[in-house]
Chain A
Amino acid sequence: MDKQLKLHAIANHIALILISFILIAAFYEQFALHELPCPLCLLQRAGLVALGLAICLNLRFGVQIPHYGLMLLASLMGFGIATRQILLHITPGDSGYGSAVLGLHLYTWASIFFFVSLVFVSLSLLVDKAFFASNNKISVNYFSRGLIALFLVLILANMLGVFFECGIGVCPDNPIVYLFWGSAGS
């Protein structure tokens, strides 16, 4: 494989692993620490899912400029949503939503992550020989397929989690109980 294509392959795999880890960590916050996600939290998860799917497009169909364009749009979307949540809680005296991790709330970490992903995707577009190679396909082995499958399981888990939290309607701004269980699980 061309060196630049290899670089794209490694970066895309690492990015998808990182996004999967973030989604798993969000589930840990939800189920172990009993902090139900608010509507904006769910929208940020959707932003991560959109970003991950754009990465899956690269892994499955080869590195293409439009895939990176979609990653930029997904990152911008996630950044906007996370920043809105920061601004909602920025006034002095506001304790924010949910508990802090290493001093920052999850939506602040999300905002940082989406911003960093904007930078990395932009840098990836500079490594452009891979886009014009005769074979721009990343070899899709069992590891890649397994990674994509894990990501799909996380999307399904998010869908089911939201269903149990809010049904098919609108989620409450400050959820404290699951719609179908009547408790946060604590």
Chain B
Amino acid sequence: MMVRIFFIYLILGLQIFFGKSFWLKTQLFIYMLITLLWFYHHATDQLGLSW
């Protein structure tokens, strides 16, 4: 899952580098939410809790 998270950040970074503007701020916000969701999943998994 972390591979996928770094991949989407890389794609966003490439968009920024080449100056393409496709709702970049929204993309970054959503990707941070995805990262947070994965963190929450990992944390609850460690505690033996379910979703």
Contacts and interface: CB of A to CB of B under 8 A. Distances in A.
A148 B31 CA distance: 19
B3 interface: yes
Interface size class of B (residues with CB under 8 A): 20 to 34
A117 interface: no
Interface in A36-53: 39-40, 42-43, 46-47, 49-50, 53
Q: Is the interface of A mostly helix, strand, loop or mixed?
A: helix
B2 to A, nearest CB: 5
A11 B24 CA distance: 22
A74 to B, nearest CB: 6
Interface string A136-164: 00000000010011011001101100110
Interface string A160-181: 0011001111110100000000
A39 B1 CA distance: 10
Nearest to B25: A66
B13 to A, nearest CB: 5
B6 A60 contact: no
A83 to B, nearest CB: 12
Contacts of B16: 53, 56-57, 60-61, 148
A178 to B, nearest CB: 13
B36 A77 contact: yes
Interface centre among A73, A159, A163 (most CB of B within 10 A): A159
A163 B3 contact: yes
A99 B37 CA distance: 28
B25 A77 contact: no
Contacts of A152: 10, 13-14, 17
Nearest to A171: B2
B35 A43 contact: yes
Given A49-B9, A54-B28, A155-B10, A149 B4 contact: no
A6 interface: no
Interface of B: 1-7, 9-10, 12-14, 16-17, 19, 21, 24-25, 28-29, 31-32, 35-36, 38-39, 42-43, 46
Give the 9 A-B CB pairs with smallest separation, nearest first: A159-B6, A152-B13, A162-B2, A155-B10, A42-B2, A56-B16, A163-B3, A49-B9, A162-B3
